[in-house]
Amino acid sequence: VMPALGTMFGTEYGGITQRYIDFLVERARGGVGLIITGNCCVDWPRGKVGGNPFRLDEEKFISGFNELAESVKFHGATIAVQLQFSGRLTSLSATEGLHPVAPSETPPSPGGERPHTLSPEEIHEIIRKFAKAALLAKHAGIDAVELHGAHGYLIGQFLSPFTNKRTDAYGGSREARARFGVELVMAVRAAVGSGYPIIYRMSADERIEGGLELNESQWFASRLEEAGVDAFHVTSGIYESRRWMFPGVGMEHGCNVSLAGGIKEAVSVPVIAVGKINDPLMAEEILQQGQADMVAMGRALIADPELPNKAKEGRMDEIRPCIFCNECIGRLYENWRVRCSVNPYVSEEGKPKAPPPEKKKRVLIIGGGPAGLMAANVAASRGHEVVLCEKNPDLGGRLHPASQPAFKTDIKPFINYLVRLTVKTGVTVEAKTCVTDEWLKGRRFDAIIVATGALAASPKFVNNSGRELFSPEEVLMDQLAMGERVAVIGAGRVGCEVAEFLAEQGKKVTIAEMLGEVAPDLHILGRERIIQRFEELGVRVWTGFKVSKFTPQGLLLEDKTSKEHLIEVDSVVFAGGYIPDAKSVRMVQGIAPEVYAVGDCKEPRKILDAVAEGSYIGSML
């Protein structure tokens, strides 16, 4: 199952686009059995969220969904549409000035507006809109509907004691809180008739004090089944606990599976499990153990649309693994369309592939990090003769230190995948090889791609402590004998990960940052996670402070008024950022007709950028 995913592929007014059709068709071709569309608003604009959702509240939108349905079903998949009403989880900008509505005037989500309490008449009107949307979906050729009762949207808001404070027939007891959902399901069933599948998505545990828990969700599920639900899609969390909605770095694989098993005990209809699952063998184990009847993979299918076919054909080592970095989701919070750190072709599925090369070229890749490996593999797959030189014994570049903390081990399978590709595509790898002027003598190349990575920036403060500064790579890779009191200078992504790594070892960690916030280069989900971890681990955070000196007494920090503060430390890690490796690029200028710089040697950024650039340059040769 491919669950509903935000993409930013809809039109401004909720229409289906060719980009979205291409995106889903690629997954249908890849062997997905059931595809559930991104959330579809049943009451535009009052019930919509941000992020360019779709809509199915008027007949004029049937044609777009019909084209989507026919395209997906042509390639063998079944398609469902997710019907949704935001409730309190919206803003005036999303609703075009209409006031958000909810079961009760509960505190709004961060940045949201305090909602208006729905009257019984307004509740009945929303139920009618859900029923109408379901009927429109059926007329469009959609195979099923999914009612989005999870993650704190309107249906879930009625069920949850955290958001439903009503004292009338729609609030208070669990029977009353279930009434909206039950009436809604019954209305949808009456609209679409018997035999048309209704899926209900639920957060079986909202992972927040005062919210829904499994035992109550089991009771609700049994009532909803009686009302007409044909399958349950079990997730967890609401926006106040949203790390559970998008389980990423440091979270357990299959973290919601036990909840799916709990709901399965309470109902007789099929149950779908979801939540940080990217391994077909794990999915099979979930099914064999009877914890679910279907398994949904979202980000894993963004990373590799062909995952189902590869698993079916026994090509497990060819699956491009999701690393659960959540860049795909973080981009949506910036109102950017979805992309993927490991799959550079996401959102470009409909674009024609680069034409075959006019001639076979001899290509040199300098550097075996993600950018170099992608460039090498793509160029070799196009028939070029590729030589990749890496100064270290192993390929992977800075992905190796990045994957060392226990909370970042999901990167390791991606390194292994890239290395396996070099074998499959026939890249000649020369490890422990530094490309110098001397090495280049007598060798001819048609194109040279420099992917040497970035260089560590130099500290701009005085170090007269008599102790050396450690680099993040040394700390992560070499397991150095650090003192008990450690300061990390620089609270960007790398510095924060080093601080968390050391704090998990029991070190007393202080992190200092000149800017006013930690992890400004991380997306919002990443920042929230690292701030929470710092609180849990007792990491002291000094933002808005500049390091002036590292002395025998400790680290001197200077605030905006130039007042100095002494931090007593045993060891210091300098994570002050990186600079492009312009020297390596200059060295090869004029050596070959084509010279390119890709990845961090061009500009230090993220895995996503390195992979995308390497792939693009490799495809252009």
Domain ranges of the chain: 18-333, 362-454+581-620, 462-578
Output the 3-class SS for 568-619.
Answer: CCCEEEECCCEECCHHHHHHHCCCCCEEEECHHHCCCCCHHHHHHHHHHHHH
Provide the CATH number for the domain formed by 18-333 in this structure: 3.20.20.70
The answer, as to whether pTM is greater than 0.85, is yes
**Looking at residues 246-259, what average pLDDT do you find?**
97
Which residues, at least 6 apart from 228, have a Cβ–Cβ distance to it below 8 Å? 185, 186, 188, 189, 198
CATH superfamily entry for domain 362-454+581-620? NAD(P)-binding Rossmann-like Domain (3.40.50.720)
Contact yes or no for 17/54 (Cβ under 8 A): no
One-letter amino acid of 464: N
Q: Which of 204, 201, 164, 206 lies closest to 184, judged by CA?
A: 201
φ, ψ (nearest 5 deg) of residue 258 = -65, -30
Question: Which pLDDT score is estimated for 265?
Answer: 98
Q: Which of 348, 337, 403, 346 lies closest to 370, judged by CA?
A: 403
Encode pLDDT of 201-224 as tens digits.
999 999 999 999 999 999 999 999
Q: Which residue has the tokens 């019984």?
A: 120
d(CA 307, CA 300): 8
**Looking at residues 368-392, what average pLDDT do you find?**
98
Encode pLDDT of 492-511 as tens digits.
999 999 999 999 999 999 99
Examine domains 18-333 and 462-578 and report if their fold is the same: no
CATH of 462-578, one of 3.40.50.740, 2.40.30.10, 3.50.50.60, 2.40.33.10: 3.50.50.60
Encode pLDDT of 389-400 as tens digits.
999 999 999 999
CA distances from 548 to 461, 486, 567 (A): 5, 17, 12
**Looking at residues 454-480, what average pLDDT do you find?**
91
**Looking at residues 517-524, what average pLDDT do you find?**
94
**Looking at residues 423-446, what average pLDDT do you find?**
96
pLDDT surpassing 80 at residue 443: yes
Rounded to the nearest 10 degrees, what angle do helices 370-381 and 412-425 cross at? Answer: 30
One-letter amino acid of 381: S
pLDDT confidence tier of residue 110, bands split at 50, 70 and 90: low
Active-site residue among 13, 20, 153, 333? 153
Q: Which of 121, 176, 110, 178 lies closest to 149, judged by CA?
A: 178
Task: Assign 151 to helix, strand or coil.
Answer: strand
Structure tokens at 306: 């062909």
pLDDT surpassing 70 at residue 434: yes
Percent of all residues in the chain with a pLDDT value above 90, rounded to a whole number: 95
Question: Which pLDDT score is estimated for 91?
Answer: 87
CA atoms within 13 A on the CB side of 97: 0
One-letter amino acid of 432: K
φ, ψ (nearest 5 deg) of residue 405 = -60, 150
Rounded to 5, what percent of the chain is helix, strand, coil?
Answer: 35, 20, 45
pLDDT surpassing 90 at residue 482: no
Question: Which pLDDT score is estimated for 277?
Answer: 98
Contact yes or no for 145/192 (Cβ under 8 A): yes
Reply yes or no on whether 13 is catalytic. no
Question: Which pLDDT score is estimated for 112?
Answer: 65
pLDDT surpassing 90 at residue 149: yes
Q: What is the dihedral of CA 148, 149, 150, 152, to 10 degrees?
A: 110
pLDDT surpassing 90 at residue 126: yes
Eight-state DSSP code of residue 513 = E
pLDDT confidence tier of residue 50, bands split at 50, 70 and 90: confident
Contact yes or no for 115/129 (Cβ under 8 A): no
Of 91-95, 196-200, 349-353, 410-414, the range with the lowest mean pLDDT is: 91-95
More confident residue, 561 or 311: 311
User: Which H/E stretch holds residue 180?
Assistant: helix 174-192
Question: Which pLDDT score is estimated for 480?
Answer: 79
pLDDT surpassing 80 at residue 111: no
The CA angle 554-560-564, to the nearest 5 degrees, is: 25
Question: Which pLDDT score is estimated for 109?
Answer: 62
pLDDT surpassing 90 at residue 359: yes
Encode pLDDT of 328-348 as tens digits.
999 999 999 999 999 999 999
Percent of all residues in the chain with a pLDDT value above 70, rounded to a whole number: 99
d(CA 421, CA 429): 12
Across the chain, what does the average pLDDT equal? Answer: 96
Q: Which of 616, 617, 615, 621 lies closest to 421, judged by CA?
A: 615
Task: Assign 235 to helix, strand or coil.
Answer: strand
One-letter amino acid of 349: E
Q: How many CB atoms are located within 10 Å of the residue 312 CB? A: 11
**What DSSP letter does each residue of 509-574 carry, written as one string?**
EEEEESSSSS-TTS-HHHHHHHHHHHHHHT-EEEES-EEEEEETTEEEEE-TT--EEEE--SEEEE
pLDDT confidence tier of residue 575, bands split at 50, 70 and 90: very high
